[in-house]
């Protein structure tokens, strides 16, 4: 066994031991710990931002893309938002102990299916240091231990955040090993975590397609698969133009580096000649480059706004930048067919005043979230009222869409009898 593997397994063993305490914490104990972490983040904001500055500087020197640098960057406002998200999580109901269903059999046996913690949750993620705190907070509230394997690009920031969180919970008598960084910065350390079956109960990968595929294909620990976001906005022939422009702009521009940002715009042919020049001008003013099909190119030509010819790569890509694939479709069914071919199953939106078109879109689109007359940017744990999220699942097992507290639990059947024996 290599030294690095031994170190990773030791962290997992300590996490397994800490899980015995964490699963038994009361709601008051967990909430008090979350508030203590939030206060500690606020109090140590300057230390966190200073550590982050060094990570960002290294990323810039390495020529990292602007979208990824934005994901990496923390400032005073973002640290405050992360701390506030923890307070929101503390205010949420505790999922542990919730009765999913309960009933009494004719023989008098009482059956209850009750939510219980997963145990030890491993997170493998890229760049975004806010995930470090979100994951730790959600795991703690749901009675789980968090093993955090962030990327080397955020090493200094993650180290500062975890140190602050561990000190905050230890001061309240909670094992600091409930929140741990997984040692090592090589792919080998990730592999060691992925194969720590029996010590780690579940893994959640969060990052680019290559990272997620690697974890899904090579992990012996059960995986909840999150996905990249090739998200679509379809503007139907019965759309309100003003609402449609606002939704397209917000979906694409508000924060283009995140997974719920729109990457493709589809417009119904009946309104394309009027709507496309309007939305193209608004997008151009925001610095967006359109990658358009032939019909969209022809309809935007009178505006003088330059466009790029769209390719299959454009239809498939998660840009994470101010680029938008754009096309004209003949019907809602054609929009659905396009989405079925190219979508990653994350979020799709329709803008329409037609109830029948909305119903057809909802029925035909098979994604984790479907928006009707709303921006794709709302697919987010915080926006859904979860306080924060551990990721957005695009799989169909156990958890789908933004994953909050309930998705970090499993269930136990509690059967209560009175001397019952089976005949």
Asked if 174 and 37 touch (Cβ cutoff 8 Å), the reply is no
CA distance 327 to 151: 36
Q: Break the chain into its structural domains and give their ranges.
A: 3-227, 231-378
Identify the DSSP state of 231.
E
List per-block mean pLDDT (blocks of 10 residues) for the chain, which spans 423 residues: 90 98 98 98 98 96 88 96 94 96 97 98 92 96 97 95 98 98 89 96 89 91 88 98 98 93 98 97 97 96 94 95 97 98 96 98 96 97 83 85 92 96 91
Three-state DSSP class for residue 175: coil
Q: If you write DSSP's letter for every residue of 134-152 in order, what string do you get? A: HHHHHHHHTT-EEEEE--G
161 and 62 in contact (C-beta within 8 Å)? no
Q: What is the pLDDT of residue 1?
A: 67
Spell out the residues 6+ positions from residue 11 whose beta carbon is closer than 8 angstroms to its own. Answer: 147, 180, 181, 182, 183
> What's the Cα-to-Cα distance from 98 to each of 118, 121, 268, 413, rounded to whole Å?
14, 20, 46, 12
Residue 263: how many CA atoms within 13 Å on its side-chain side?
A: 26
Give the span between the Cα atoms of 136 and 246, in whole angstroms.
35
- Compute the C-alpha angle 269/270/271, nearest 5°: 90
Q: Tokens in use for 145?
A: 């231990």
- CATH number for the domain whose boundaries are 3-227: 3.40.605.10
Q: What is the pTM of this model?
A: 0.84
Q: Using CA atoms in the order 284, 288, 293, 295, what is the torsion angle rounded to 10 degrees?
A: -20
- Antiparallel, parallel or unpaired: β 202-206 and 323-329: unpaired
Other CB atoms within a 10 A radius of the CB of residue 21 amount to 16
Q: Which two tokens stand for residue 187?
A: 């792919």
Pick from 163, 151, 147, 190: nearest CA to 4: 190
372 bridge partner residues: 350
- The continuous run of DSSP H or E covering 410 comes out as strand 409-416
Cβ(324)–Cβ(283) under 8 Å? yes
Tell me what pLDDT residue 143 has.
98
Fold matches, 3-227 and 231-378:
no
Q: Which residue has the tokens 């283009």?
A: 256
Q: What is the secondary structure of 198-230 as a DSSP string?
A: TTB-EEEEES-HHHHHHHHHH-SS-B--B----
Other CB atoms within 10 A of residue 57 CB = 11
CATH number assigned to the domain with residue range 231-378, chosen from the 4 options 3.40.50.300, 3.40.50.360, 3.40.309.10, 1.10.490.10:
3.40.309.10
- Residue (of 380, 398, 367) closest to 131 by Cα position: 380
The distance of Cα 245 from the centroid of its chain, to the nearest Å, equals 26
């Amino acid at each position: 066994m290599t030294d690095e593997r031994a170190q990773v397994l030791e962290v997992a063993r300590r996490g397994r031991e800490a899980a015995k305490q964490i699963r038994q914490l009361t709601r008051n104990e967990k909430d008090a710990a979350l508030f203590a972490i939030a206060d500690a983040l606020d109090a140590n904001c300057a230390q966190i931002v200073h550590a982050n500055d060094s990570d960002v500087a290294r990323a810039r020197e390495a020529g990292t893309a602007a979208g990824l640098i934005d994901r990496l960057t923390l400032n005073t406002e973002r640290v405050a938002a992360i701390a506030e998200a923890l307070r929101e999580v503390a205010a949420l109901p505790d999922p542990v102990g919730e009765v999913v269903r309960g009933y009494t059999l004719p023989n008098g046996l009482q059956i209850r299916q009750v939510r219980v913690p997963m145990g030890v949750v491993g997170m493998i993620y890229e760049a975004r240091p806010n995930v470090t705190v979100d994951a730790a907070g959600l795991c703690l509230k749901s009675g789980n231990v968090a093993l955090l394997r962030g990327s080397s690009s955020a090493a200094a920031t993650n180290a500062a955040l975890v140190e602050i969180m561990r000190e905050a919970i230890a001061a309240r008598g909670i094992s600091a090993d409930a929140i741990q960084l997984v040692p090592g910065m090589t792919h080998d350390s990730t592999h060691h975590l992925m194969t720590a079956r029996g010590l780690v109960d579940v893994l959640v990968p969060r990052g680019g397609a290559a990272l997620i595929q690697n974890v899904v294909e090579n992990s012996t620990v059960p995986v909840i698969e999150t996905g990249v976001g090739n998200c679509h906005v379809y503007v139907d022939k019965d759309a309100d133009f003003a609402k449609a422009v606002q939704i397209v702009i917000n979906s694409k521009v508000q924060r283009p580096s995140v997974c719920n940002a729109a990457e493709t715009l589809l417009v119904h042919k009946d309104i394309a000649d009027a709507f496309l020049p309007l939305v193209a001008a608004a997008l151009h003013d925001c610095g967006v480059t359109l990658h358009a099909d032939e019909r969209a190119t022809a309809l935007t030509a009178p505006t003088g706004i330059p466009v790029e010819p769209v390719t299959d790569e454009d239809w498939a890509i998660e840009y994470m930048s101010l680029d938008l694939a754009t096309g004209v479709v003949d019907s809602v069914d054609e929009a659905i067919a396009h989405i079925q071919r190219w979508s990653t199953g994350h979020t799709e939106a329709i803008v329409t005043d037609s109830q029948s078109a909305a119903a057809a879109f909802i029925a035909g689109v098979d994604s984790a979230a479907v928006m009707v007359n709303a921006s794709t940017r709302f697919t987010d744990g915080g926006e859904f009222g979860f306080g924060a999220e551990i990721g957005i699942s695009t799989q169909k097992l156990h958890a789908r869409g933004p994953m909050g507290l309930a998705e970090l639990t499993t269930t136990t059947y509690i059967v209560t009898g009175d001397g019952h024996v089976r005949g």
